[in-house]
Structures are given as structure tokens and as C-alpha cells.
Amino acid sequence: MPTALITGVTGQDGAYLAQFLLGKGYRVLGLLRRSASSDVIGERLRWLGILDRVELLDGNMSDLGSLIRILQKHEPDEVYNLAAQSFVASSWQQPLLTGMVTGLGAVNMLEAVRTAAPRARFYQASSSEMFGKIQEPRQNERTPFYPRSPYAAAKLYAHWMTVNYRESFSLHASSGILFNHESPLRGIEFVTRKITDGVARIKLGLACELRLGNLEARRDWGHARDYVRAMWLMLQQPAPDDYVVATGRSTSVGEFCRIAFAHAGLDHREFVRVDPALFRPAEVDVLRGDAAKAESVLGWQPESSLEELAAEMVEADLARHRRLRETS
């Protein structure tokens, strides 16, 4: 039975990855940063029905010693570093925290792997936000980076350090440059989930409008369940490398609104209001990925369409709010 360690296991990607690996027969360890909300921190794992099958271990990405001790004790075959301060908007308000967790935290884990588990295969969760002010209409592994937020800059540092550790110390360290990927487990602060939650609230008469920022921003959205499969495929390759993971379809926030509201039989134009206070200090106008390398080398392709993703998220939020209404 192979053993995998996942940092950020209680987040969207970590939960889906844990579910995927358990289905593959792995022993799954999850790094857990203790907090005052520890009673609800495993909600995503519980929602997927796997909370009691994941071994949660105390540790912190800012504490190198704790990472080394975990690797020495459990000797994982694969390490997936998904931990980050991942909300882009918050990175302008907390740039130092973002740099320490998202950037230096990744290097702490790389150093722990080099020291205590050099034969383990390592995955770094890089981000399409690193492309920022895009230099090419479709972004692939050779496209120059131009980060436009503290989050993107921190991710870029972690990405290049992963490349450096691979080349300097011969680690099997790969980076997945993942474009936006969503699901019913996405945090409510992210725009797609904010939209689908708004649709559900309006449909059920709990709200009368939805306030959003830039409706013209365009993203390449896929399903997180598809993207964690790509993470695993990267670590099954004979040699480590970097891969863009994307659908190749770019959609505006406004169009995502139209799709989500239409699924509930609503016209988004009647309910969506633009709030200038929600605009980013520096916007990433458009992202569209080219995943040809992942398709040819990994044999990976997305399985869920944007319409299917939006429908699944709306239905999950409708079910959530109906349950809340019944129990209140």
C-alpha cells in the first residue's frame, strides 16, 4: 500500500485528492494546522464521506521541524503540497502571510523532503495566476510569467524553487500549473461559489441580488475532481516535469453568471449588480490554458464541462440552503 502525504488536505483540492488516492488503494496522510475551528476543519472530507479514512497529522508549513519529523516517521512515497493562503483578494491585505505560507512554506516542505525523504515524489501546486498579465493568448509551460498579485508572486517563488530543488538535488519534483478549478467544495469567498450560492439564495427567496466585481474578467474554469487526477498522473511519470492543466476554454465572470442563473431558471441580468469596491487592485484580465503537453504525456483530459460544473455547484448550494432552512 503506497503512502501519500497531502498538505492542505482540508481544502477543496486536498479533499478531492484524498478521495482519489483512497480509491487507488493509498494510505492517505493529511497535514493539519491546528486552529480554534478544528471542530469544523474537516467538513470537506466529511462531505465526501472520507474523514475517518484520512490520517490527520499535526504540523505547520512554517515549522520545518514538524515537517521533517512527519516525513521521518511515516516515510511517504508521494508528497502533494497543496497548502497555501489561496484567496487572491486577501493576498493584498496579507502579503507577508501569503509569502510565508504560499512561498516559504513550499520551500520548507521541499527542504524537509530533501532531508528526510529524498526518494519521495513531490508535487507542487503552481497556479495560472503566475501568468498574470498574459504574454501570449494561450498559456503553456513556455509562456513567460507576469504575476499581478502577492499570491501570484508567492506561487511563482514556490514554483521556481521546486524547479531548483529538482535540478540541484535530483528530487522527483513536479509542478502542476493549474488553471482555475472549482466544485461544490470551493470556498464561499471565491467568485464561482459566490455566484452559485447567490443563485441558490435568490431562487429560495433568501436574497434579492448578487453583488460582484469585474464581470469582464475571463478564466479557464475546470472541475477540481478532474485536476487532482492530473496531479497523481504527474507523479507516476519516470521523470519529473512541469505541466499546464486547463480546459482551453476561457469564459467571463458574466457568462458564468448567465450559465449558473439559467440552470435555476433565472435571468442573471435581473439580479447581478456590479460593485466597484470588489474590483482587484491589479486585475488579471484573461487566462486560457494550453494543456497539450498534459494530454500527450500524461494522457489527461478534462471530463466535466463548464455547464456540468456550474449545474453541480448550483444544485449543491440549493441543497445546502434547503437543509439550513429546514433545521433553523
Q: Hey, which residues are catalytic here? A: 127, 129, 151
What residue type is assigned to position 262 of the chain? A
For the chain, the distance separating the N- and C-terminal CA atoms, rounded to the nearest angstrom, is 44
Q: CA 317 to CA 326: how far, in whole Å?
A: 14
Q: Are 280 and 213 in contact (CB under 8 A)?
A: yes
Residues whose CB falls within 8 Å of the CB of residue 137, separated by 6 or more in sequence, listed in order? 288
Residue ranges in the chain assigned as alpha helix (H): 12-23, 43-47, 64-74, 88-93, 95-98, 105-116, 150-169, 191-203, 224-235, 253-263, 292-293, 306-327
Q: Which residues pair with 177 in a beta bridge?
A: 126, 244
Residue 67 CB-density burial (10 A; 0-12 exposed, 13-18 middle, 19+ buried):
buried
